[in-house]
Structure 1
């Protein structure tokens, strides 16, 4: 190879799989992510080398003990694979890398909706309609709908606790002190963080911003939190109470990760989230087909 010649084949927008066609996420810990010839590779603590097909993965979740080279990040982002830094087994969501997008059409659309109070309220109302399909939300204010949602979630927690025969004293989480929570809260914290990572990567990959929300505010990723509430019931809440019964009081990180991943794949979260985001943002069906 002559000096200055690159090993990497240029990745084009047309050559990449769509967000909804990708594998949702891959969690890595205690190892190194770097480049091997023309691909990304993972070297674990036992010196095992595993090729990582970043073009077919939506998000890499990097846990404790990981290091990554500059070139590996460049290749991953060129393939539209987001990189998120998380706590052990995705227990906490720390940060996400930004993916370059081909244009800013979607971001402009999102900003236009969020900056217009009436339009922003309509987007929020559309999100709540999915959780209250039989309620008449027309004319309701955002605080009123948030109050309804709070009551719904508290009732849902109690319903799931009774259904699975699990004790429940309420949602509790102390940052940095994961082990102080009871088993159900530990699972909720872990699965919520993993869900945030996946949705953050999806939002970035589609050219939207996680920082411009319609319900949540004053937090780092309000749009991600808005979206996560659409999927938490089957992916996080039901799973937490189900696994609390199955694990009989002892947290099993491998079982939590495996069961969460199965549910993400079975419900086709990436496909669902992609369609939901575009619909909420008012992207036409014709344009969606070209994305």
Structure 2
């Protein structure tokens, strides 16, 4: 098995780690305290203690010792499609603490804080506008107008005719070329965002704008990047009239995600939305391997100690 896993103080904080490393068509193994990726070109070593999430793409085979090392180092593995454009499954969360998940649950179950997060998501799409006095209904209307404008601009730039968004989720081929490209592009983005959410330990189902679906939070976060990534990519692909719109669009989204560093941006945006007050001290706390006990009056009390009084029964 090689060297012992690092102790907790030796681990690199997740905000300073390599974040997400994507591998495909290789064998993932362990050499001492490093993850190795081997293919016909040779072997590369990835320090496990500085790794956030390992995205395992097509053609990867991972060994038991490699998974044990990831777990010991507080890292995680996510099984994805090519370049992360599909989400299939994941291992343990990247976070050793539940603070980010608890922040998500607390904010989504309180109407005032849920509204604040939802508004912040809309504000990210209108950085140069004052939306503080707009209701949610007005924000939805403003967002609809923004998306309609983007469709029109992309259509004029590429020469691809645009009518309206029409698709049958049960029949991909039923739509015209541009709608097929849009469906494929959005599906890729959902997979990427889903991978980031589970790697950070959040719940994909606890959405703020969307609700009632197991991927509500995925749709919330994905909407932040559609205007920048998937809509322009879909129109550019449709312009070429590809024989296989789905495959061509997936490859184009893959490249756009890498070029735009969407994985890293997504992780930063999620943390800023759920824990905007997070500072160095708070980050150190929620990344520590600490278990506490809940108390309705005190909030949290230390675990690992006996609270029995001398006169308690059985003492």
Q: What TM bracket, shorter-length normalisation?
A: 0.7 to 0.9
1:105 aligned partner: 99
Of residues 135, 141, 156 in structure 2, which corresponds to 1:140?
Answer: 135
Distance, in Å, in 1 between the alignment partners of 2:225 and 2:180 is 18
State the 1:62 CA deviation: 3.3
Distance, in Å, in 1 between the alignment partners of 2:153 and 2:228 is 13
Of residues 264, 273, 277 in structure 1, which corresponds to 2:270?
Answer: 277
Of residues 224, 234, 240 in structure 1, which corresponds to 2:228?
Answer: 234
Q: Is the 8 A contact 1:110 1:212 kept in 2?
A: yes
Q: Is the 8 A contact 1:172 1:181 kept in 2?
A: yes
Cα displacement string for residues 126-171 of structure 1 (whole angstroms, at most 9, x for unaligned residues): 1112223525453624x55445434432432232122222234544
TM value normalised by structure 2 = 0.68
1:92 aligned partner: 86
Structure 1, 175-184 or 157-166: larger mean CA deviation: 175-184
1:262 aligned partner: 259
Cα displacement string for residues 59-94 of structure 1 (whole angstroms, at most 9, x for unaligned residues): 444344544333323333444544333345545333
CA change 1:187–1:118 in 2 (3 A) is same
Q: Is the 8 A contact 2:51 2:75 kept in 1?
A: yes
TM value normalised by structure 1 = 0.73
Larger radius of gyration: 2
Distance, in Å, in 1 between the alignment partners of 2:58 and 2:237 is 24
CA change 1:184–1:132 in 2 (3 A) is same
Cα displacement string for residues 244-288 of structure 1 (whole angstroms, at most 9, x for unaligned residues): 44x5535546555334311227xxx51x44443333224325347
3-state SS of paired residue (2:224): helix
2:296 aligned partner: none
- Structure 2 portions without partners, runs of 5+: 285-315
- Structure 1 portions without partners, runs of 5+: none
Q: Is the 8 A contact 1:19 1:205 kept in 2?
A: no
Question: Does residue 33 of the first structure (1) align with residue 8 of the second (2)?
Answer: no
Structure 1, 32-41 or 217-226: larger mean CA deviation: 32-41
Distance, in Å, in 1 between the alignment partners of 2:267 and 2:82 is 27
CA change 1:24–1:39 in 2 (3 A) is closer
